[in-house]
Amino acid sequence: MLEDKNTEKTSLAELGEFGLISHLTKHFKIYNSTTKKGIDDDCAVISAGGKETLVTTDLLIEGVHFDLSYMPLKHLGYKAVMVNLSDVYAMNAKAEQITVSLAVSNRFPLEALEELYAGIQLACDTYKIDLIGGDTTSSTKGMLISITAIGIADKEDIIYRNGAKATDLIVVSGDLGGAYLGLQVLEREKQVYQVNPKNQPDLDAYTYIIERQLKPEARKDIPELLKELGVKPTSMIDISDGLSSELFHICTQSKVGCKIYEDKLPLDPQVISTCEEFNIDSTMVALSGGEDYELLFTVPISEFDKIKGNPNLSIIGHMTEENQGMNLVTRANQEIALKAQGWNSFS
């Protein structure tokens, strides 16, 4: 039945990931009063009578999300943890626990898994996270990692995606597009290597962007910094799929529009030079390149003085009324509509 290529069937690529999840889960009910937040944020929120507990989960699959020909296993383990911690920090919460489930084919010896777990452990030690459970099993092909992260926060501290107001400032941490460009460099070197295995790649000019791809850091420091500055964002999300896509989530859930400025997008010099080398538009990379794991948030305009000039933060625009849509103001002062370009693993 499953192999039936009947034309009445609907292919998954048509829906994309977000469409698929909302389609499949739209009829589910909430039964328990402990469930404070369900599917549509970086984490779910549960209250068991004390502080709130936050839960997020991510699946990483060889050949879809990572390529072991240039991703060392230790980095993979580290990154798999970061991807999940980033979701907890995006709720303004403290990440405390993870579970790790792993499926591997017999082609992997124990020593390979030790490398992977060395990376997971480095992440746990660096971010003070407890590994509390998991499941390890064989797969028929390749490697798959499923991580669930659990965090904690006072109820009043949690920041959702739906609190942005029409005049709020839009702020991002760090810089954008590096992880995507790092991947382009690694893919190119892989192809060179396949043609001539003796070629020794010189990657010195790309160290920053390759590190952004292979060893990203979740921004644990940003919620701490915001607390120090005395700023509470009205909405927050982590940038995993790309700036446009994340802005789309905040705008949709907060029922507002947004206007961002091309000349305000934070770009590392290595991103700019590599974009020139690859002949790619750096603005496109900043808008649509995923995996930076920076935080995107909105703050009331009254907080401008606390944010401006901070080397970790860039004000890139402001929210607008919903009917004005999502727009980018170019360097030439033209206004163009932004498209949400979330990453679709099914296409």
Q: What residue numbers does the annotated binding site for Mg(2+) cover?
A: 42, 56-58, 87, 135, 238, 241
Q: According to CB under 8 A, which one of 86, 119, 140, 205 is a site residue for a copy of itself?
A: 140
Shortest distance in whole angstroms from residue 107 CB to a copy of itself:
6
Sign of CA dihedral 9, 15, 20, 22: negative
Distance CA 105, CA 126 (A): 29
- Which of these segments, 133-141, 161-169, 267-275, 277-285, binds a copy of itself (CB under 8 A)? 133-141
The residues pairing with 143 across neighbouring beta strands, listed in sequence order, are 104
CB of 275 to a copy of itself, least distance (A): 28
Residue number, 141 or 255, with CB nearest to a copy of itself: 141
3-state secondary structure of 342: coil
Minimum distance from residue 232 beta carbon to a copy of itself (Å): 21
| Residue closer to a copy of itself, measured from CB, 14 or 228 | 14
Q: Which of 71, 113, 272, 280 binds a copy of itself (CB under 8 A)?
A: 113
CA-CA distances (angstroms) from residue 292 to 156, 240, 282? 28, 6, 14
Interacting positions 41-80 with a copy of itself (CB under 8 A)? 43-44, 46-53, 55-59, 61-65, 68
Asked if 323 interacts with a copy of itself (CB under 8 A), we say: no
Rounded to 10°, the helix 269-278/207-214 angle is 100
What residue has token string 């109820």?
Answer: 155
Q: How far apart are CA 149 and CA 56, in angstroms?
A: 5
Taking CB under 8 A as the criterion, which residues in 187-206 touch a copy of itself? none
Smallest gap from residue 129 Cβ to a copy of itself (A): 7
Among 71, 99, 225, 277, binds a copy of itself (CB under 8 A): 99
Q: What is the dihedral of CA 270, 273, 278, 282, to 10 degrees?
A: 80
The only residue of 74, 85, 89, 97 in contact with a copy of itself, by rule CB under 8 A: 97
Whether the CA torsion 3, 59, 242, 316 is positive or negative: it is positive
149-178 residues in contact with a copy of itself (CB under 8 A) are 150, 152
Among 111, 156, 202, 305, binds a copy of itself (CB under 8 A): 111
Known binding positions for substrate:
65, 291, 343
Whose Cβ is closer to a copy of itself: residue 103's or residue 295's?
Answer: 103
Could you tell me which of 87, 35, 94, 97 has the C-alpha nearest to residue 57? Answer: 87
Tell me which residue has tokens 């590994």.
131
Which one of 28-36, 210-218, 252-260, 268-276 is the stretch in contact with a copy of itself (CB under 8 A)? 28-36
The helix or strand, by DSSP H or E, that contains position 225, with its residue range, turns out to be helix 221-229
Strand, coil or helix: 288: helix
Smallest distance from a copy of itself to CB 27, Å: 6
Task: Please tell me the distance from the alpha carbon of residue 24 to that of residue 18, in angstroms, as a whole number.
Answer: 10
Name which of 117 and 208 has its Cβ closer to a copy of itself.
Answer: 117
Output 28 or 269, the one with its CB closest to a copy of itself.
28
Cα 44 to Cα 16, 109, 323, distances in angstroms: 21, 36, 29
In angstroms, the CA 237 to CA 255 distance is 15
Q: How many residues sit in the footprint of a copy of itself (CB under 8 A)?
A: 89
- The helix (run of H) or strand (run of E) holding residue 196 is none
